[in-house]
Amino acid sequence: MSAAQDTQAQPYFHCRDLHAYYGESYIVQGVSFEVHDNEIMALLGRNGAGKTSTLRAIARASQPALRRGELYLRGQAVHALRTYEAARAGIQLVPEDRRIIAGLTVEENLVVAQVSENSGWPLERIYQQFPRLAERRRQMATTLSGGEQQMLAIGRALAREVHLLLLDEPYEGLAPKIVQEIEGILTTVKQTGMTTILVEQNAVAALRLADRCAIIDDGQIVHTGDPDSVLHDEDIRRRYLAV
């Protein structure tokens, strides 16, 4: 097989036998899955199952500590990268707590993200996608509503070069109406061909958006398949999702 053929055969993103710890607590216990190009993979499970820890390990956050495992993005090994190096490689994490920078306006939060040499969407495109942010561009970012802060966190990730977008609980703490609005935005982002891993406690909302899903339980993958394989299997929902 030629080198070109081998590259084509590789998944866009591959997480292989991931083991991660918080101190001595063994949280991620041999997680493996693949994400295809232009696909949204929903990573589901109960609270404490290891979803966020897996996402943070992929983003090469300092915690949890990755003790063993391999991560490949577009055929390149990224498991040895530091957090800032992973971001430069195009792995952009939107954390659950959003990490809005206090003391800066909406626009300044976006501009700061574009300081890196590999910038992503220009401001005009972000404002077109998030008109609410355009309306509030001069407003202090921490005074935004929860839904608006979530929009800003997603927009800020897109302001950098993105090859893999990691979304951690984007609907957390939001009213149903705002969830629908964020879901609509993510649907539009999906149509741009953004490859994404979505961690979300609202399993039904996540499955509406996802192309495929994986369920994690006690730090291990217990099911992978298409959304219908979960939506139509009451036993899986009851055992692993409590829905």
Task: Give the CATH number of the domain where residue 21 resides.
Answer: 3.40.50.300
Residue 121 lies inside a defined structural domain of this protein:
no
pLDDT-derived band of residue 10, with 50, 70 and 90 as boundaries? confident
164-168 and 91-94 strand pairing = parallel
> Is residue 11 pLDDT above 90, yes or no?
yes
155, 186 contact by CB (below 8 A): no
Summary mean pLDDT of the chain: 93
Would you give the distance in Å from CA 123 to the centre of its chain? 21
Residue 35 lies inside a defined structural domain of this protein:
yes
Residue 236 lies inside a defined structural domain of this protein:
yes
pLDDT-derived band of residue 4, with 50, 70 and 90 as boundaries? very low
So what's the pLDDT on residue 56? 97
The span from the CA of 145 to the CA of 143, in Å, is 7
Q: Is 222 exposed, middle or buried (0-12, 13-18, 19+ CB in 10 A)?
A: middle
So what's the pLDDT on residue 119? 78
Task: Please give the residue range of the domain that contains residue 37.
Answer: 10-88+207-243
Q: For 122-163, write each residue's pLDDT tens digit.
A: 999 999 999 999 999 999 999 999 999 999 999 999 999 999
The span from the CA of 20 to the CA of 26, in Å, is 6
Residue 98 lies inside a defined structural domain of this protein:
no
> Is residue 5 pLDDT above 80, yes or no?
no
Q: Please, what is the angle between helix 176-191 and helix 146-158, to 10°?
A: 10
pTM listed for this prediction: 0.92
Residue 238 lies inside a defined structural domain of this protein:
yes
Residue 5 lies inside a defined structural domain of this protein:
no
127, 134 contact by CB (below 8 A): yes
Residue 215 lies inside a defined structural domain of this protein:
yes
> Is residue 121 pLDDT above 90, yes or no?
yes
Count of the separate structural domains present in the chain: 1
Residue 218 lies inside a defined structural domain of this protein:
yes
pLDDT-derived band of residue 9, with 50, 70 and 90 as boundaries? low
